[in-house]
Amino acid sequence: MENMNIVIESNSKINEKNDFVWGAKNTLKQKTVSIVVLGETTRGLNSSINGYDRITTPYIEKENVISFSNAISLGAHTLAATPFILTRKPLDYKGIFPEKSVFSAYKEAGYKTYYISYLNQVHHGDYDLNQIFSEVDIFIKRKTPYDGEYIEIVKNILNSTEDHIFIVVKLLGSHFNFYTNYPDSFDFFKPSYKTYKFNAPDVSEKEIMLNTYDNSIRYTDYVVGNIIDLLKKTDRDATLTFISDHGICLFDDNEVWGLRQAKPNFNILYFYWLNDIAKNRLRNKVNMLIENKNFPVDASYFLDTQFELNGIVVDKKNGKNLFLPLQKEDERYVLTSRGITKYKDLPE
């Protein structure tokens, strides 16, 4: 770890006024690594692993991932959506949620926790996220412009001697402007804004916008595929979860663009990868995960499923677990600028 060309800051500053505990216990004896990749603006709609007609996810399609093709976020942008993934915060809660996050649960269960990002650890005004990320053991900020740097960072962490490792990787992914997020070598679909001057979003340039966005998805696929390759080489019980914070409207209806209150803005890529050790441990539970993969789900399923995935038992649960049978479709709600809204009532 000493030779890592990155910024590392140890942090143990948990809000002392918050005495919430998960009661988390680790049931696994073997060495473990769990990676959660927080995608940025990554639509499942534009992922060929979910049936998109362009090849945008060639790397992860080679892996035996379990992708939830009908998954949505709960928030319309990163700050709104992320706390609903990493905590038990309900949609109707206003203000900073007083419970600790998934990081503290993993720490209670004996894991060393890492958060890797292209951003600083603390942001003015992002109080929910600041509280969440203050709980992590080690924060790492990458130095270079592209997400590809995470591959080497994760590789170095995997060489550490800790028995149990929990890593959250925050991607730049498909954040607007898309063309700034991937190197020229990934300019696959053309014309794109790598070579065409971008002025402002306009429906007349829908094809160029879509090409550029899909190129950013291909780069995310490359980064995540390489992280999975690292996990395949470890002798640990290893899992990877990918869940995007939200989607984006790309003139799907030839009118709406950006983070608007429409269904594409909430559409996300959400999948799991497990190595053979983890599969053998979970046995028939993996079949249930596969059986549920086409079920309409939302980001609130992440927390309980993640604990089950890594053999962590907690006192508090959401009651939404993708390892359990999903017998009926619950009404899905999202948080919009108009308040809590039924997802089905949003425009297409």
Question: Rounded mean pLDDT of 185-205?
Answer: 96
Q: Mean pLDDT over residues 62-75, rounded?
A: 97
- State how far the Cα of 135 lies from the Cα of 71, in Å rounded to an integer: 28
Confidence of residue 13 (pLDDT cuts 50, 70, 90): very low
Query: pLDDT tens, 268-302?
Result: 999 999 999 999 999 999 999 999 999 999 999 99
Residues 6+ apart with CB under 8 A from 334: 72, 73, 74, 75, 76, 91, 266, 298, 340, 341, 343, 346
* pLDDT tens string 208-219: 999 999 999 999
Q: Residue 8: is its pLDDT beyond 80?
A: no
Q: Which residues contact 196 (CB under 8 A, 6 or more apart)?
A: 205, 208
- The pLDDT assigned to 5 comes to 39
Mean pLDDT of 126-136: 90
- Asked which of 33-37, 110-114, 119-123, 214-218 is least confident by mean pLDDT, the reply is 119-123
Mean pLDDT of the chain: 93
pLDDT of 4 over the 60 cut: no
User: Three-class SS of residue 35?
Assistant: strand
Domains of the chain (ranges plus CATH)? 7-345 (3.40.720.10)
pLDDT greater than 50 at residue 129: yes
Write down the H helix ranges in the chain.
Answer: 78-86, 102-108, 127-133, 149-158, 206-232, 276-282, 284-291, 302-309
